[in-house]
Amino acid sequence: MAQELYDAIAKLLTEQRNPASMHMDMMSTEEILRLINAQDTLVASAVEREIPHIARAVEYIVASFKNGGRLIYFGAGTSGRLGVVDASECPPTFGTDPHLVVGVIAGGDKAMFRAQEGAEDNPALARNDVDAQHVSARDTVCGIAASRRTPYVVAAVTRARELGARTIYITTNPRSEFDLEVDVAICPEVGPEVLMGSTRMKSGTAQKLVLNMLTTTAMVKLGKIYENMMVDLQLTNAKLVERSRRIVMMATGVDYDAASRVLSEAGGHVKSAIVMIKTGAPLEEAQRRITAAGGFVRLAIGEQKPGD
């Protein structure tokens, strides 16, 4: 069994030695930094090649949201932490319910700060975690594992599929070697890491880029954006309060005092404030317009229909 595991890991692209960094231990500080930076520039193009698959994944996520479902990430180590980070950023950025996008990491919350030995190798733990989330056919479950083979992530996605959920898998190993049953596989092939096997580097960067694309694009499709501004953000700190005022000012052309006044009348709801100013409608009418427009500010103020 140990030999089989060794052979499986040894074949992974993410576990190969990178020819560009063979003499990294002999390099100067600046040479090492330039080497890492040069390798990082390869990541964006690897993600770009996966855009058709990322687009399919977004459509599944949006369908889940519209059907009362959720997006739930399952990962271990760096991959799990990235999922938790992406999920935790959605409520303040897009004003979503904290249960709409959920990040689950092998080993639980404590694994965010310190590695929990053995958690990533525990399929039973994964199945229990999926069941604890009450995954259903309305949900989309996304497994994140640079190697593809992480037992916890494989088991989580397999269990989610058994429960009828749509499934997405993000790995940085080649699509030609992907053999799991999922609805969408996203496989940005970033090549061997600068530091052999350190998938917190290029692989982690690629995963973060993909997660950014999944949730941001899904939120755009839900009407959480006006032009290129977040208009459902939550005013949970002083920075976000000021950002909200600035968004209202930029969207409508009013000054700081006017933006502050209307935002106050709107209970801090940026969308409502914009519609109130743009249409001259009182709060109740602005809210009715937003609801009728499915949350899209452009439609609520009578502009063109957002792109499909």
Catalytic center residues: 89, 120
CB 293 within 8 A of CB 231: no
From residue 63, how far is each of 3, 11, 57, 138, 221 by CA, in Å? 43, 37, 10, 8, 10
For residues 92 and 113, what is the distance between their CA atoms, to the nearest angstrom? 22
Tell me the Ramachandran region of residue 295: left when phi exceeds 0, alpha when psi lies from -120 to 50, beta otherwise. Answer: left
CB 102 within 8 A of CB 121: no
For residues 275 and 273, what is the distance between their CA atoms, to the nearest angstrom? 6
Pick from 253, 216, 128, 86: which is nearest to 273 by CA? 253
Residue 222 CB partners (closer than 8 Å, separation 6+): 62, 65, 66, 295
The rounded radius of gyration (Å) of the Cα atoms in the chain is 22
Torsion of CA 99, 105, 107, 110, to 10 degrees: -70
Count CA atoms within 13 Å of residue 54 on its CB side.
22
Q: Which two tokens stand for residue 198?
A: 């350190």
